[in-house]
Amino acid sequence: MSGFFKSSIGRKVAMALSAFFLMFFLLQHLAINVLSVFSPDTFNEVSHFMGTNPVVQFALQPVLIFAVVFHFVMGFILELRNRKAQGVSYAKNNGAANSSWMSRNMIWSGITILAFIVLHFIDFWFPEINTKYIQGDWSGMMEGVEGFRYYEELVHKFVNPIRVVAYVVAFVFLGLHLAHGFTSAFQSMGGTAGRKKTLQTIGKVYSILVPAGFIFVALYHYLNH
């Protein structure tokens, strides 16, 4: 197994698998967030389930955190190795002529997204962990109990225009990151043979609609708070 991760192909496959998992998570996360716009009660119910279900909390959540950390660490490793290789062969290979702007700047979009994830954890995940597991207070997470706060906390986060701008900028960079990463993940798995254009089209749609959906939620709550 260690040899697998030491090989270039192995690292790219591992990177692609983590990308698939995170792209699926983005769809699920967006679906829940959109509920806050159309049905706050349903959003509270679904958030309550996700926030208290032991399988989600103690199995899926650690896997998600691992996938995020693994994806970014592996991404940085691959980027450093690529730059080192390009430094050797740059005279023979003009990278700017043979690759897109997005593919050449994945490292910067990745850093921006990582910074946003830290902000997102500070806004939502750390307070929830502190309340439930450090303070031991689950009452605010329970339907029918005063202080049931999923929807209220979400709306409160988008009162500050600076935070809203930060979210919008982060999701624009997420879209740029996905525009290249979607097809690249399939290519690393050998899944683009004969259908690269189709996957590129799906990737473009995904990389536009998913970030746009998150931006819509943030702007909606800011404008309607």
| pLDDT for 220 beyond 80 | yes
Please tell me the distance from the alpha carbon of residue 189 to that of residue 181, in angstroms, as a whole number.
12
| pLDDT for 90 beyond 50 | no
Percent of the chain exceeding pLDDT 70 equals: 82
Please tell me the distance from the alpha carbon of residue 110 to that of residue 39, in angstroms, as a whole number.
32
CATH code of the domain occupying 2-223 = 1.20.1300
- Quick one: pLDDT band at residue 86, thresholds 50, 70, 90? low
pLDDT of residue 142: 55
Tell me the pLDDT tens digit for each residue of 120-137: 888 888 877 777 777 666
Average pLDDT over residues 85-95: 52
| pLDDT for 147 beyond 60 | no
DSSP 143: T
Looking at per-residue confidence, does 83 or 35 come out higher?
35
Please tell me the distance from the alpha carbon of residue 68 to that of residue 213, in angstroms, as a whole number.
21
Domain boundaries, the chain: 2-223
